[in-house]
Amino acid sequence: MGAGGDFLAGAIAIVPILIPAAVFGLLLGSVAAQKGLSPLEMALMSTTVFAGASQLVAVEIWTSPPAIALLGLTALTVNLRHVLMGATLVPALTGWSRGQIYGGLFFLADEVWALALKRSGETALTPSYYAGLSLTLYLGWIASTTLGTIFGGLLEDPQRYGLDFAFTAVFLTLLVGMWKGRRSLPPWLAGALVAVAAYYLLPGVWYIALGGIAGAVAGALQGPAQRPDRATEPGPAKPSPAKSGPANPHPGEADSAT
């Protein structure tokens, strides 16, 4: 399959994800309009950031004038997972030029990462296929968030339609999907406690960034998950292999191996 065919295959693969992404983009744009962002500003944010979770948080804590340091730190904290996502794709980027790798990293998103990783497990992940995935989602995201800002400005009372709770519902849904058992509890508790304390003790919305950092630090201090040692697993004892030769050729004679 040539470059054009790979690009088309990638674009087709991402189409089913465009629908929920567009709905989320429209919602994000409508709330951004209530925060005072213009369609042009929203379009520029989606073009340069291209990170739904980071943009969601940025819109929630947006002020006039914007707190640049807080916005930057929050976006960095939310997107730290991209470090691990990019690392898992390294084996699939064999043969890519440096420009293709760095360019592709800009368009890395959760959906793009998942489909690219799936593709690499089936056949070679080409830059053309990756471009089909990422550019299709990228353009759809810019369009949906911009349209959401245009039409969202017409809503005088977003609480009437439940838009004020929509982002909370999205994050709760993501949170449920991130539960990995008891090991998830310490980072969650650390993040929650620090966020609540910062909410009451510090002005502004620093509690978002500080809570995220606390959770990340707590997770790092846990270290990697310990896999059970198969050698110590309970079960029937295996008989030791029989030694060749006479069982006790010289009774009473001490072992001279030492």
The predicted structure's pLDDT at residue 247: 47
Helix boundaries (H) for the chain: 3-34, 39-48, 52-60, 68-78, 81-89, 98-106, 110-122, 127-152, 163-178, 185-201, 206-222
- Cα 170–chain centre separation: 14
Q: pLDDT tens digits, residue range 138-152? A: 999 999 999 999 987
pTM of full prediction above 0.85: no
| Residue pointed to by tokens 């003790």 | 201
| Residue pointed to by tokens 């008989």 | 239
Whole-number percent of the chain with pLDDT over 90: 25
Tokens, residue 216: 């990340």
Q: pLDDT tens digits, residue range 192-235? A: 898 899 888 887 667 766 777 788 788 778 776 665 554 444 44
Q: pLDDT tens digits, residue range 13-62? A: 999 888 888 888 888 898 888 888 899 999 999 999 898 878 888 887 78
Tokens, residue 17: 């994800």
Please tell me whether the peptide bond between 65 and the residue prior to it is cis, using omega within 30 degrees of 0.
yes
